[in-house]
Amino acid sequence: MSDDAEELLGTLDLREYETQALRELLTLGRSTAPNLAEATGIPRARIYDVLDTLADRGFVEVIPGRPKEFQAKHPEAILDRAVENERQSYESFRDEVESTREAFVSTFGPLFERASEDVTPTEDLFHVVDVGDPSETETRKQYNEADREVTVLTKSFAYLDSIRPAFEDALERGVDVRVLMLDPDLLESENRERQAEVYETLQSAYPEVDVRFSAAKLPIRGTLVDPSMEYDSGTAILLVEEEDVPLSMRQAAVTDNPSFVAGLNRLFELIWEYDSAADY
């Protein structure tokens, strides 16, 4: 298997035998289990378990017959099913957590309160995470915990694909999402092309999402969740524009200080109302 193929299949989080079997089916087409075992070197005692696992995950189709055969699904279908599997896994985990919430809080809440009685509380305005996987993880968390509103300040919303399950979950729960992008004339050609793709996706797949374009550069970019001018709710993740610093070396600030989030939201509302346009 080439390094490129190995890396691509690695995104599916398969075990070694499952990877070998799927790659062989994608390359050679339909096969019986014994023939596939011979072609891949997978032990015959394991081949049916491997294929059943691939079929259960929706990556392989079982074709009845004597003997029955196995065929890989189209690569597009495999990736779509992989995303759906992860979404179902997350929902199952969330339901499991929620089923234990009352017992967990009633058990450990009093212990925590007693342990905290003599401790003077301190609260940082924000903490930082690296830009990339850590910041995207934090962003997904904020979408998952949103109750009312999510507002986004972004150049091109290029990271939409990496947060899409959480993004869709928020929309399904009725959370209002607004996205403020940078005017495409202020972007470099690569970012402009990516922005156009994302904008088309939002327009076609998520028409309930409001999108506008800032007429001026955005010194702050990020995501604000459930801001309140009563200062009783609000979280945010943001980063400042640093043109001379590579994105991989930047850090994002995360805050759950309601007053700070309210101030950021006031900036968002002013730009949205007075310094942006709805036309692409």
Q: Where are the domains of the chain?
A: 3-73, 127-277
Topology agreement, domain 3-73 and domain 127-277: no
Q: Is the pLDDT of residue 254 over 80?
A: yes
| pLDDT for the residue 29 | 85
For domain 3-73, which CATH number applies: 3.40.50.720, 2.60.40.1170, 1.20.58.110, 1.10.10.10?
1.10.10.10
Query: DSSP letter string over 101-155?
Result: HHHHHHHHHHHHHHHHTTS-----S-EEEETTHHHHHHHHHHHHH-SSEEEEEES
* CA separation for the pair 104, 85 (Å, rounded): 27
35-77: per-residue pLDDT in tens?
999 999 999 999 999 999 999 999 999 999 888 999 999 999 9
What is the residue type of 38?
E
Q: Are strands 176-182 and 149-154 parallel, antiparallel or unpaired?
A: parallel
Beta bridge partners of 240: 220
Q: What is the pLDDT of residue 117?
A: 76
| Element spanning 276, H or E | strand 276-277
Whole-angstrom Cα distance, residue 226 to residue 275?
22
Average pLDDT over residues 173-188: 94
Q: Does domain 127-277 have CATH number 1.10.579.10?
A: no
